[in-house]
Each structure stands twice: as structure tokens, then as C-alpha cells.
Amino acid sequence: MARPLDIRPTLEEYRERQRHVTALLLGAAARHDFLLLEPAPLLCATGRCQVEQNGRPLYFDEHHLSNSGAQVLAPLFAPVFR
């Protein structure tokens, strides 16, 4: 009997993959005074990062969010627009 394949990356895998970019962005934020928004709390709340929600893919390729994925992150932007 085949087991379902879980393709969701772990939070640790996500952080490792993003390590270099995160370091660059944190450095830029310190120099240029901008707020860096962190998507992991919304995408990886369970310790594994969502790749779909309600049957809709959250990514259109390996690294880029689809429209559905962008909608998941919409709450991150609420404080920016207050």
C-alpha cells in the first residue's frame, strides 16, 4: 500500500533555503530603515510549510507564490496600511 507523499518543506528547511536572502534583507533593512515582513508564521505555522490550501496551489513554481499564496499572506500587510 502506497503512503501519501508529504512534499511540504519543514520550517527548518525553509529557513535554511532562505538564510542567504534573509541575511541580505536584514542588512538592507538596517541600512535603509524598512520593515521586513516574515511569511513563515502564516505559511509554516505547524512546523511544515503549506504548499496548497483548499485544493489550490500556493506556489506557481518552486519559489514563487501564486495568487492564492499571496492571499494567504495578505494579513502581513494590514499593519503597513493602517
Per-position pLDDT tens, the chain of length 82: 777 888 899 999 999 999 999 999 999 999 998 888 999 999 999 999 999 999 999 999 988 999 999 999 999 998 878 7
CB 63 within 8 A of CB 18: no
Listed by start position, the domains of the chain span: 39-75
Task: Please tell me whether the overall predicted TM-score, pTM, comes out greater than 0.85 for this model.
Answer: no
The sign one gets for the Cα dihedral 43, 45, 50, 55 is: negative
Question: Which residues neighbour 26 within 8 Å (Cβ) at sequence distance 6 or greater?
Answer: 36
| Backbone region of residue 54 per phi and psi (left: phi > 0; alpha: psi in -120 to 50; beta: other values) | left
pLDDT at 5: 87
C-alpha gyration radius of the chain: 15
- What local confidence, expressed as pLDDT, does residue 43 receive? 95
